[in-house]
Amino acid sequence: MTSATDAPRRAAECGRRALCALTAFALIAAATPGDLRSTLDKTDRAIEQAERAVGGKDPGKVSLFLIRIDELLASFLSDSEIEALVKTFDEAHAASQASDLPAAAAAVRRASALMAPLTDFVVLRQAAESSRAAIRAAETRDSASFAAPLDRFDASVLAPVLLARVREARAAVGRARQAMVRNNMPDGRARIAEIRRAFGGLLYAGALARASYSLTIGSELLSSGSIITARDQMQRAIRDLKLALGAAPDDTRTALEGALAQTIEIWKRSGHAATGDGDRLAELAGTIDGVRMKQAR
């Protein structure tokens, strides 16, 4: 083999190695749902520390906790890529309205990839089915059938809701830090309470999404006679509904309390399920979806 033929071969081999290295780096760098859960757990603890510290007389100590909270929220925002996800859904809608279905389909595929770290905040079944339906419609140039699944895909994630809660929390951190500069502990307590509400709203959004998914899957399993796995999904829904109630606004508490009570009732008798219990779980999933859509953006 001559040097003339060796050069392209070596160049191609170097290119493959570089691509493998970049791919490996991307896989290492990409955040996972577990990474985001860890960040949220740390944020929760840091807020608790700030809540305790603001009851004292040391604004400097409170400020340190506030800095930590902001760092963790910034990390969550960066690792989750919520801002990119919101932009991508906007691009998909814009392309759909312009009847540019190839661009719309490409945006849907990007959104599917971007939402991977956020699975704790996504109604997974709805996301999978609606994104596939949107891509299918785009590939067959069926513009009339594209918009509805795109809307359902967007609603399965509600990325603007997640982004709004993170931004609200960070804005409250800024106000709390200003209160500490002024040595105004009462105002600091009020601003840290705002941080807690915004952060609770983020957890609330995730709990509702998971509860909706669990109720939907539980409905199907119960209707098909798969009692053990149906009970597991109902238990998951019960846990997440309780979490949601911990941060629920007043105007949704009644609906959530009713959904929780009915889910517990169906779970208790699931060994001897009543006729229509599967359908009742599906209706409860619809109730939770209605509550999800009321979240402020």
pLDDT of residue 275: 81
Q: What is the pTM of this model?
A: 0.88
pLDDT of residue 6: 52
Give per-residue pLDDT as tens, 98-108: 999 999 999 99
The mean per-residue pLDDT over the stretch 20-33 comes to 54
Give per-residue pLDDT as tens, 33-67: 999 999 999 999 999 999 999 999 999 999 999 99
User: Which long-range contacts does 32-40 make (Cβ < 8 Å, 24+ apart)?
Assistant: 32/117, 33/116, 33/117, 33/118, 33/119, 33/120, 35/79, 35/117, 36/76, 36/79, 36/80, 36/117, 36/118, 36/120, 37/120, 39/72, 39/75, 39/76, 39/79, 40/76, 40/202, 40/203
pLDDT at 4 over 50: no
The mean per-residue pLDDT over the stretch 142-169 comes to 96
pLDDT at 96 over 70: yes
Q: What is the mean pLDDT of the chain?
A: 91
pLDDT at 29 over 70: no
pLDDT at 211 over 70: yes
Give per-residue pLDDT as tens, 177-198: 999 999 999 999 999 999 999 9
Tokens matching residue 67: 């800095």
